[in-house]
Structure 1
């Protein structure tokens, strides 16, 4: 199979933009992705498009992809829409990579979009809940925060981590997000802020939960046959892994890990020919602070039950051995469901090309993006490598 490369990435700000449409948001992300390509890219060279979206509020559930591509002027370009809850655009990029690797396309647009803040709280909670098991979770009143609170309770009960470690995740990611002009919650918070905030679902406080956000993100994937037309500093998509699992948390064998994440990561590492210790930077799915702790372990950054030690030792800080969520993560950057996965890949792309501004990790060569759907019903992991990296 041919190698696939990221040659451009762009996104909107993530935040509350209820006057924007999903079309206008994605158009902004698309324009910024095109503008980011070092050698320039004519939109007419795009062979295919893949768009991720949950469709919060019921907007354009049918033919959402073509509705976006026609707005972009990509007439005649085949387009698919991917729905895998919060992992929608991560899977959209995976499909773009497959199209390039197979030889069906040389240049593919992939990304995602969501508009979430123009709805009432009750309606928004309903749409967030559809990513859980319908009969025994959503319709019985279990919220998205409630599911992750169960995971947090089980984890804190089993291991030496405490609620303060959940707050340490929030403090780290807010500090990173304060340096990100695209972040929804672009401000710092203290350990006291996070720990003393109102409880959302015990043991999760408000600062342990990501915001409800609007936004869009897009990336451009090119084949090895044409990549030199677009950049002299290519970022290879070295490995992709994906997995699914039972949608309902209560159906799984463990509450203290996400098996789909572990399986997806192992597949991505094997495809890329690397180990977790080879990573220089990672964007992980931290919809709630507990999710970042689980990700450390699921991705092999530490042993089971040892995630809190990475925080204590500063391993995942911007100047640590493996900086995690330099963008601010979902916690600070925001979480427009359909856009999150592509946004994570965009951050990794900018880190590997040295264009991350005040968030730049020194000498970053290998990055990872980890995107989860729901509470773990789906997961996708991409490993990116700056061309020439060892």
Structure 2
């Protein structure tokens, strides 16, 4: 994984090369050992005009030849989707060793263009339908004095207000999640933001759509992450194979038609049930989680949907320190998307990077004690009141 942040003067090829080279070196492999590659990216087409074959161009530039390269786009779940496809390729026997890489260069001179890419992650043919859904979820809100933001901050804000109305979740509890993640990131030298903030500072920061303030939300970030996947035959070719982490489950799915308040049929809850069944574990077995906190509220919602706490209890758990390092279930020891950063196509793989470090016992100051089972949730887009796609990965040693 590259450091996440603003990479002035660096592009997609350069960031890809850094992450992939590090992954190969960690595995003791050469480029020729890779049988297939899955390249995740969501913004290069919109921001640079590279609408096609981005993976072939980036990987050929660093010497990959002959192998199949597949370009992957699945909104913010692109990285985890690339991993899912790499795992599927290996399980099918089509490759002994596969590579998943995700990369984004989102900080460009025209910030409005970077913000506009989020407009393509919902049904663009029905903007009125989006507005109606957000009103049904979070009610009418006067946001005339709110700062510039992507449409997804309005989406997450509406979801947060719905949760507050249903369960009594407070803005202070959402701020407690952000405080925890900004504190975790101080120990992550690859995080975008590494400055600790208090709950009071977070609440007093520039407001976006209520109840969100800027430090509760993921920044616009550049970066790349890569993962090497192998089966038993490929494992014999790895250096230090005893450091490998097993993929217990790697599932991707879409939602079902449901009333907005039928959270028992939410895409992530349904997918979590499938992931736990495939992994042969339950939420009670999870030692560490990396969750898609594009906003601090999302972490609260996801801890509930993954069964890591009871419905409606996520905010209280965060406020009591349950999800902090040293708590019963550390969530986002990396700092999460709010602090580590959110280069869309790389995020899901960066989550797995953190879990691998944790399960290897290489987490340093942010190491979770006796971590054996980790879970990552990487969601993307918005459709019918929830993520358009969700991806859940369970790993273990």
TM-score relative to the length of structure 2: 0.89
Q: Deviations over 1:227-270 (max 9, x none)?
A: 14321232110112221137xxxx86326858221122111111
Q: How does 1:117-266 map to 2 (within 5 A)?
A: 117-137=107-127, 143-230=151-238, 231-245=241-255, 253-254=259-260, 259-266=266-273
Q: Can you give the 5+ residue segments of structure 2 that lack an aligned partner in the other structure?
A: 132-149
1:233 and 1:28 map into 2 onto residues whose CA distance is 21
Q: Can you give the 5+ residue segments of structure 1 that lack an aligned partner in the other structure?
A: 1-10
Aligned to 1:43, which of 28, 31, 39? Answer: 31
How far off is 1:306 after superposition?
1.1
1:334 and 1:253 map into 2 onto residues whose CA distance is 32
Q: Deviations over 1:285-336 (max 9, x none)?
A: 0001111011011111112111122113322111112110010000100000
Q: Which residue matches 2:394?
A: 383
Q: Which residue matches 2:8?
A: 18
Q: Secondary structure at the match of 2:227?
A: strand
2:119 and 2:352 map into 1 onto residues whose CA distance is 25
Q: Deviations over 1:201-222 (max 9, x none)?
A: 1111111111000000001001
Residue 286 of structure 2 is aligned to residue 279 of structure 1: yes
1:71 and 1:242 map into 2 onto residues whose CA distance is 30
2:126 and 2:333 map into 1 onto residues whose CA distance is 36
1:314 and 1:153 map into 2 onto residues whose CA distance is 22
Aligned to 2:71, which of 71, 78, 81? Answer: 81
1:225–1:335 distance in 2 versus 1, CA, 3 Å: same
How far off is 1:135 after superposition?
2.9
Q: Secondary structure at the match of 2:103?
A: strand
Q: Which runs of 4+ in 1 moved over 6 A?
A: 138-142
1:121–1:226 distance in 2 versus 1, CA, 3 Å: closer
How far off is 1:16 after superposition?
0.7
Q: Secondary structure at the match of 1:380?
A: strand
- The answer to which of 144-153 and 90-99 deviates more is 144-153
Residue 333 of structure 2 is aligned to residue 323 of structure 1: no
TM-score relative to the length of structure 1: 0.91
2:227 and 2:155 map into 1 onto residues whose CA distance is 31
Q: Which residue matches 1:4?
A: none
* Structure in which a larger fraction of residues adopt strand: 1
2:128 and 2:42 map into 1 onto residues whose CA distance is 16
Q: Secondary structure at the match of 1:69?
A: helix
1:137 and 1:83 map into 2 onto residues whose CA distance is 22
1:27 and 1:354 map into 2 onto residues whose CA distance is 26
1:309 and 1:210 map into 2 onto residues whose CA distance is 22
Count matched residues. 370
State the superposition RMSD in angstroms. Answer: 1.8
